[in-house]
Amino acid sequence: MEIVEDSHKTTNLEHPHVADPVHVSKTATVSRESRETIGDIFVDDPRISCRDVNVYYGEKQAIKNISLDIGKNEVIAMIGPSGCGKSTFLRCLNRMNDTIIGCRVTGDINMDGQNINSKKIDVVPLRAQVSMVFQKPNPFPKSIWENVAFGPRIHGLANNKAELDEIVVTSLKKAGLWEEVKDRLDQPGTGLSGGQQQRLCIARTIAVGPEVILMDEPCSALDPIATARVEDLIDELREQYTIAIVTHSMQQAARVSQRTAYFHLGDLIEVGETNQIFTNPRHQLTEDYITGRFG
């Protein structure tokens, strides 16, 4: 009974939820009731900056007044319990929420001096610039070559077949898939293993030459070895692209990202350097989550 009363004082070393225990000292100063975002929300020279973004599914409000900056060439991880709105927020960044009937997004999402959340802007080139990798690998039911070549072809990025071939090869190499598929480019993409399919999807995304890559739990359907390969890939891609990754795994967030944002029931609770979030969280809710009290 003693243990229950002092539960908030125990470290998480004994707690079974966190597989990879990070030493967390009790540092949270902001109480659970506060919903103000704390931490470094804003950065200098952001790639994308969001101000007062709200998302409604019909009457239900899924994202409540979130402001966040995403810096250039950084990997920002979005973590939080299920249903907290991280995927919804991610999908706002390339207007994928437009495909959901009844979904309404308000607020400003500024990129390159333009508000991409306005009705005036054409989403087709936006999605070529900010492209997305989904949770469940979804290669087209066509050949591997076709999968990667589809994007460049419809955007007119190549003038002839030779250039298209070059783009395909480069993208597959960057995605770390080239060695495995170079002699079976005409085989169906759906015949690859799960990890290979996800890397194919990443290659497909890279082929259109985006500047920002959004990843919605890219490794949740993969085994640990495939996961490790994709995480290495993310590290390499960081040099050229800005990456925003939603993940359920705190260990993954700790491994790949520079900044981490913690979401809770539609609110952005805390943003900060990954190291700081996982060792010295300032908000009580953040601390609760990463020590495994819930989520």
Partner 1 sequence: MNNPQANADQDNTPVRRRSIDIVQAGLSKRYAAEKRFQLYGKLAITMGLLFLVLLFTSIISKGYSAFVQTFVHLDVQLDASRLDPDGNRDPKVLARADYGGLVKSTLRDMFPAVTGRSDKRELYSLVSNGAAYQLRDMVMKNPDLIGSKVSLWVPASSEVDMLMKGRVDRKAKEGDRQLKDKQIAWIDSMAKEGRIEKRFNTVLFTAGDSRDPELAGIGGAAMGSIYTLLVTLILSFPIGVAAAVYLEEFAPRNRWTDLIEVNINNLAAVPSIVFGLLGLAVFINFFGMPRSAPVVGGLVLTLMTLPTIIIASRAALKSVPPSIREAALGVGASPMQTIIYHVLPLSMPGMLTGTIIGMAQALGETAPLLMIGMVAFIVDIPQGIFDPSTVLPVQIYLWADSPERAFVERTSAAIMILLGFLILMNALAVVLRKRFERRW
Kindly tell me which residue out of 57, 73, 81, 134 binds partner 1, with binding defined by CB under 8 A: 134
- Residues contacting 180, CB < 8 A, separation 6+: 196
Among positions 124, 163, 166, 232, the unique one binding partner 1 when judged by CB under 8 A: 124
- CB-nearer residue toward partner 1: 98 or 273: 98
Selected binder of partner 1 within 7, 11, 58, 125 (CB under 8 A): 125
Shortest distance in whole angstroms from residue 140 CB to partner 1? 6
Segment lying near partner 1 (by CB under 8 A), choices 7-15, 40-48, 164-172, 201-209: 201-209
**Considering the complex, what minimum distance in angstroms separates the CB of residue 77 from partner 1?**
20
What does the buried/exposed string (b/e) look like for 113-134 if buried means 16 or more CB atoms within 10 Å of the residue's CB? eeebbeeeeeeeebbbebbbbb
Give me the DSSP letters along 184-204: -TTSBGGGS-HHHHHHHHHHH
Site size toward partner 1, by CB under 8 A? 31
Please report, for the chain, how many H helices and E strands are present, in that order.
11, 11
Nearest distance in Å: CB 90, partner 1: 12
Q: Which of 202, 225, 203 is nearest to 214 (CA)?
A: 202
Long-range contacts (CB closer than 8 Å, 24 or more residues apart) made by 113-120? 117/53, 117/92
Subset of 179-198 contacting partner 1 (CB under 8 A): 188, 190
Nearer CB in complex with partner 1: 216/288: 216
| Least distance between partner 1 and beta carbon 134 (Å) | 6
Alpha helical stretches, state H, 238-283: 250-256, 274-279
Phi/psi at 270 (5° precision): -150, 140
- Which residues here bind partner 1, judged by CB under 8 A? 94, 96, 99, 101, 124-129, 131-134, 136, 138-142, 150-151, 154-155, 188, 190, 201, 204-205, 207-208
